[in-house]
Amino acid sequence: MKIIPEEVAKDVLNMKKAIATVRDAYWACSRGEMFQGDRIVQNLGTEKNIGQWLTAICTGQPYFGFKFSAVFPDNPKSGMPTDQSTISLFSNENGKQLALIGANYLTALKTGAAAGVATDLLARKDASRLGIVGTGVQAFTQALAMQEVRELTEVRLFDMSEERMDAFINRLEPVKNRDYVIVKCSSGNEAAEQSDIICTATPSKTPVLDANAIQSGTHLNAIGSFARNMQETASETAAKAAFIVTEHVDGLWASGTGDIMEPLEAGLISKEKVLGSVGDILTGKLAGRTDDDQITMYESVGSCVLDLAIAIAVYESGCCMQND
């Protein structure tokens, strides 16, 4: 078995390659060459620490795997990342474990790339103003992905910590792919109100912006909530959206994300509001945006198919690996 540490794995793929890998994985799903298995979502010791185990299998390649990912909100107090992830890669020919991959950054890279694919398909072609709520690694890779799929002129940023906003800006400035401005905002609503694309990337259990802050024609990527007691977006947001897409519809219902279950249980939406998957739109099975005034919503709850595709790309890259 190869052990691929975080610092090695993160140097293998950039965002452009990650977006291409995610696109290819969605196409592989449509051909029946990759599929997602069951997931487990579980509190880890306390209600605020939440973990999930996701599985995926290839039929077109000799691999299967699972990912463990978790959110530990208090980790930054001890200098550790909030998100903790590893990917285990196996042979589907003999069951041998091939690799254990440190996946904190790879998870964020995959999540950003998946939102990038969704945004490229659903955001207005002239969308140029990005609003981000959150300043962690997930928020950072959202910014990297959005600048790949749209020509940004402005990034509007909000976090409850001024210090974290400053650190985020210092990290993003050197990797901007064009000369857009970065604006610090005083609330999630302020970040959203003048944005064409919004990314919420927090582990919040209460909404980080109001539905009325989202303007007509906006595309929303809600990527932080993957469990029932997590909710980044107000219940009215789902009702306001023309439709919602996700990585895999079955996976969304299995996650029980508060972003969707709260408005569903309140009677604000029906299950039909979840139109289908990003892959359905990519492959032409569904139409996606049909009007520049529509609000479109991508609800991300995690996809081990996409994680597996990223892990395979790292494993097959021939990067420096340590034998166990």
Give the tens place of pLDDT for each residue, 253-312.
Answer: 988 899 999 999 999 999 999 999 999 999 999 999 999 999 999 999 988 999 999 999
Structure tokens at 18: 């990650």
Which whole number is the average pLDDT over 124-146?
A: 97
Which whole number is the average pLDDT over 75-97?
A: 92
Q: Give the list of residues 6+ apart from residue 238 with CB closer than 8 angstroms, or none.
A: 244, 259, 260, 263, 264, 268, 269, 273, 297
Residue labelled with tokens 């993160």: 10
Structure tokens at 151: 């020509």
Domains and CATH numbers, the chain: 2-106+305-323 (3.30.1780.10), 114-301 (3.40.50.720)
The CA-atom distances, in angstroms, between 19 and each of 216, 236, 264, 310, 319 are: 27, 30, 31, 10, 20
Among the listed ranges 145-159, 161-175, 308-322, which one has the minimum average pLDDT value?
308-322
Structure tokens at 47: 């209600």
Amino acid 6 reads E
Cα–Cα distance, 113 to 143 (Å, whole number): 10
- Residue 149 has φ and ψ, to the nearest 5°, of -105, -10
Q: How confident is the model at residue 79 (pLDDT cuts 50, 70, 90)?
A: confident
Cα–Cα distance, 187 to 185 (Å, whole number): 6
Q: Give the list of residues 6+ apart from residue 50 with CB closer than 8 angstroms, or none.
A: 41, 42, 43, 44, 70, 71, 203, 226, 227, 229, 230
Which whole number is the average pLDDT over 320-324?
A: 59
User: Considering the chain, what is the average pLDDT of its residues?
Assistant: 93
Q: How confident is the model at residue 321 (pLDDT cuts 50, 70, 90)?
A: low
Structure confidence by residue, pLDDT tens digits, 53-71 = 999 999 989 999 999 989 8
Amino acid 2 reads K
